[in-house]
Chains A and B, each alone.
Chain A
Amino acid sequence: MIRFDNVSKTYPRQNAPALSNVSLEVERGEFVFLVGSSGSGKSTFLRLLLREERASHGSVHVLGKDLGRLSNWKIPQMRRQLGTVFQDFRLLPNKTVGENVAFALEVIGRPRGQIRKTVPEVLELVGLGGKEERMPGELSGGEQQRVAIARAFVNRPMLLIADEPTGNLDPQTSVGIMKLLDRINRTGTTVVMATHDAQIVDQMRKRVIELERGLLVRDQARGVYGYQH
């Protein structure tokens, strides 16, 4: 599903690499937490997965494709098989909940009939059944993140990438979001989640990958958050 071979990334005009010599593999269907303090390289790791950046050295394979060799015009096709969720939800404030989810299908040219059928289904799945006509501004943070997850999942991606999805939510709401991500994981979707939330990591007991100053310092099955900050 994901394979990093000796991956390093140095940004232009910076001396210290954001990632250095990281090698790891994630199997299909795994749930992986990515932890580390700010500036440890978590974001770079995710950006490499999304092919927002290219590795300076080494190779990144996602879904069987070498992203370093993927030509630019094939990137959209690759991204359609990924779902992405962010801390700040990234919803369109002037579209309804339903339209926000439909947007992801519209812009990749899916037929209208399919959109009309899929959107309510996926909203039902994330626990927002019947809220299609609401505007994002009317919803709580947790509900907005559910909309974002619905949008990320509506294409049934093989891999879901979540960048601190609970970062803006209170602990109780976070638990709900984690349950949802866990349920999505159980349908066979691989989940990679960057987080600072020690409580969640300790509760879930999933694989934990820890980065520190760009280095892979821990890769632990059924791990815990493990460091103080």
Chain B
Amino acid sequence: MRAHFVLSEIGVGLRRNLTMTFAVIVSVALSLSLLGGSLLTNQQVNSMKDFWYDRVEVSIFLCNENDAQTDPACSRGAVTEDQKEQLVAELEELELVEDVFYESADEAYEHYQTQQADSPIAAVVTPDQMQESYRVKLTDPTRYDVVSSAFAGREGVQSVQDQRSTLENLFDLLNGVNYAALGLMALMLIVALLLIVNTVRVSAFSRRRETGIMRLVGASSLYIQLPFILEAAIAGLLGALFACVLIVGVKYFAINNFLAEQIPLINFIGWDAVLSVLPLVLVVGALMPSLAAFFALRKYLRV
């Protein structure tokens, strides 16, 4: 195989279809950055899940005097000391329960005041409107329903709430966005592949004289097809490189220098995660266009 010959053929081909090559590069770059981006978002969501699910608790809110009048669950009056003792004893018997914290109405009031300091409601809320609660930490946060079914509807218990369900809404939203990005990626990739098929067709047509002679003098089909396939691979690889630059850029500028400072609560994915995605992006970027070119050649180039 004479590398010089193949390389010069590729150069000629890429230059001859400059606009088409450019379109291929851009669409591959966009679709692959979406691919890398959604893979990383997925990792981000998973690491956030791990982080937050370790910290979520089940809250058992107890009835206060106020609830006794308004909430049907508390129709039998505010919670008594006996009921509370009973509750704690039962909670501690459960293997699932790792820890139980008690929060008094006054503590709840203070928390509320600090968290909602700017809210106009905070000014009119009084400590006796707040509820006492037990904060239960579970060894396995997914088995929230065990606690819920055991304690919801008991005398003195107003409601059992799982923080996890609140977080789940957020994660569902993030995952939804992620799937949308993947869908968009698939569309962009299809566009890129169709562009490549078209490029190969034009390219094969404009070089039919050369390929015809090559066929007649007995060049192997690999030798005839290789320039076309490498052309597609190079365009795809260039696109993939742009995608890598884009991903690294987003990580550096948008995450490290902006989001991480704005939202210190969230533990953003690190460089190792980003770097582990780049090889995949490059491989997909080189391989998919080559395959598309290969199948296009079977149709448009007689060998």
Contacts and interface: CB of A to CB of B under 8 A. Distances in A.
Nearest to A85: B216
B217 A104 contact: yes
Contacts of B2: 106, 109, 112
Interface of B: 1-2, 5, 209-210, 212-221, 223-224
Contacts of A151: 213, 217
Interface string A142-182: 00000000010001000000000000000000000000000
Interface stretch (A1-9, A58-66, A74-82): A74-82
Nearest to A110: B2
A103 B220 contact: no
A73 interface: yes
B213 A104 contact: yes
Interface of A: 50, 72-73, 75-82, 84, 90, 92, 103-104, 106-109, 112, 151, 155
A107 B223 contact: yes
B210 A80 contact: no
A110 B220 CA distance: 13
Contacts of A103: 213, 217
Nearest to A80: B218
Contacts of A108: 217-220, 223
Contacts of A76: 215, 218-221
A90 B213 contact: yes
B221 A106 contact: no
A90 B209 CA distance: 7
A106 B218 contact: no
Contact of A79 (B5, B209, B210, B217): B217
A112 B1 CA distance: 11
B216 A79 contact: yes
13 contacts: A76-B215, A76-B218, A79-B218, A90-B213, A104-B213, A107-B5, A107-B219, A107-B223, A108-B218, A108-B219, A108-B223, A109-B1, A151-B213
Contacts of B218: 75-82, 108, 155
A107 B214 CA distance: 6
The 4 closest A-B pairs by CB, nearest first: A80-B218, A79-B218, A107-B219, A104-B217
B156 to A, nearest CB: 84
